[in-house]
C-alpha cells in the first residue's frame, strides 16, 4: 500500500466514523428526552454520547488535510507545499486539544483549548467555503467543479458543527437541575427544546454528508 492508497483508505474511514458514530450519538441524545429516566441515567447518556463523539471529532480534524493531500496528489488542487504543511500542523494542534480536553470539559484550563479549537474550526470553515465558492466561479484552486462544491459543502459541515456545539451547550445545565429540583414540566420541556434544536443540526449534517459522498463517487461535473 503506497501513500496515496493509505490516504484514500483513511479518507473513507473518516467518513464512515464521522457519520456512523454521529448516528449513535443522535440515538443517545434522543434517549435523554425520556422523562422516565432518572438524573443519573441521563448523566450516563450524556457521558456516553461525549465518549462516542470522540470518533467523529477525530475524523473531523483529519479529514480536511487528508482530502487536500489526495486532491493535490491527483492534480485536482493547486496548493503550495507550505500551505499543506500548515494545514497538517493545525490539524495536529486541534487533535491535541481534543485529546487534552476530553473528559475535562468543566475544568478552567480547558477553556483556552476550546478557544484555540474554535479558531481553527472557524478558519477551516471559512477557508473551505470561501475557496469552494471562488473555485466554482473561477476554476481555481479546485480544478473541477464537483470538488469545489464538495469543499463548499464540507465548509458548511464545519459551520453546522460549530452551531450544534452552541445549541447543545445549555443541555448539561438543564439536566443538572434534575438533581436539585427533580423532574418538572418546565425542565422536561427545556430538555426537549434544546435536544430538538440540536437534532435539526444533526440531521442537516447527515444530509450534507450524503451530498458530499454522492459528489465523491459520481463526480457529476
pLDDT at 164: 87
Q: Using an 8 Å Cβ cutoff, are 55 and 68 in contact? A: no
pLDDT at 109: 73
Q: State residue 220 phi and psi, 5-degree precision.
A: -70, -15
pLDDT-derived band at 107 (thresholds 50, 70, 90) equals confident
Cell of 142: 479546485
pLDDT (tens digit, 9 = 90+) per residue, 177-217?
999 999 999 999 999 999 999 999 999 999 999 999 999 99
Closest CA to 50 of 90, 106, 2: 106
pLDDT (tens digit, 9 = 90+) per residue, 56-101?
999 999 999 999 999 999 999 999 999 999 999 999 999 998 888 8
pLDDT at 108: 74
Closest CA to 132 of 154, 149, 156: 149
How far is it, in rounded angstroms, from Cα 16 to Cα 89? 24
Q: How far is CA 74 from CA 18, 96, 123, 135, 179, in A?
A: 24, 29, 24, 17, 55
Q: Using an 8 Å Cβ cutoff, are 147 and 70 in contact? A: no
Closest CA to 37 of 197, 221, 175, 180: 175
How far is it, in rounded angstroms, from Cα 86 to Cα 136? 24
**Out of 55-69, 121-135, 160-174, least confident range:** 160-174
The domain segmentation of the chain, as residue ranges, is 3-218
In percent, how much of the chain has pLDDT > 70?
99
pLDDT at 189: 96
pLDDT at 123: 94
Average pLDDT on 8-25 reads 93
Average pLDDT on 37-65 reads 92
pTM: 0.92
pLDDT-derived band at 104 (thresholds 50, 70, 90) equals confident
> How many of the other CB atoms lie within 10 Å of CB of 74?
13
Average pLDDT on 107-125 reads 84
Residue 111 has pLDDT above 80, yes or no: no
Amino acid at each position: 500500500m503506497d501513500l496515496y492508497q493509505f490516504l484514500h483508505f483513511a479518507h473513507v474511514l473518516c467518513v464512515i466514523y464521522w457519520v456512523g458514530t454521529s448516528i449513535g450519538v443522535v440515538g443517545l441524545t434522543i434517549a435523554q428526552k425520556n422523562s422516565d429516566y432518572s438524573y443519573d441515567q441521563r448523566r450516563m447518556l450524556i457521558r456516553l454520547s461525549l465518549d462516542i463523539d470522540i470518533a467523529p471529532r477525530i475524523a473531523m480534524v483529519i479529514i480536511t488535510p487528508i482530502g487536500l493531500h489526495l486532491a493535490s496528489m491527483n492534480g485536482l488542487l493547486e496548493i503550495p507545499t507550505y500551505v499543506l504543511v500548515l494545514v497538517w500542523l493545525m490539524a495536529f494542534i486541534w487533535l491535541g486539544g481534543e485529546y487534552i480536553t476530553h473528559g475535562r470539559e468543566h475544568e478552567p484550563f480547558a477553556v483556552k483549548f476550546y478557544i484555540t479549537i474554535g479558531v481553527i474550526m472557524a478558519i477551516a470553515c471559512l477557508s473551505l467555503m470561501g475557496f469552494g465558492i471562488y473555485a466554482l466561479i473561477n476554476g481555481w484552486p479546485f480544478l473541477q467543479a464537483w470538488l469545489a462544491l464538495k469543499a463548499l459543502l464540507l465548509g458548511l459541515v464545519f459551520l453546522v458543527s460549530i452551531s450544534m456545539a452552541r445549541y447543545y451547550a445549555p443541555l448539561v445545565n438543564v439536566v443538572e437541575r434534575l438533581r436539585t429540583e427533580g423532574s418538572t414540566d418546565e425542565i422536561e420541556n427545556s430538555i426537549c427544546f434544546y435536544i430538538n434544536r440540536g437534532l435539526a443540526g444533526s440531521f442537516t449534517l447527515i444530509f450534507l454528508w450524503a451530498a458530499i459522498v454522492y459528489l465523491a463517487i459520481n463526480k457529476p461535473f
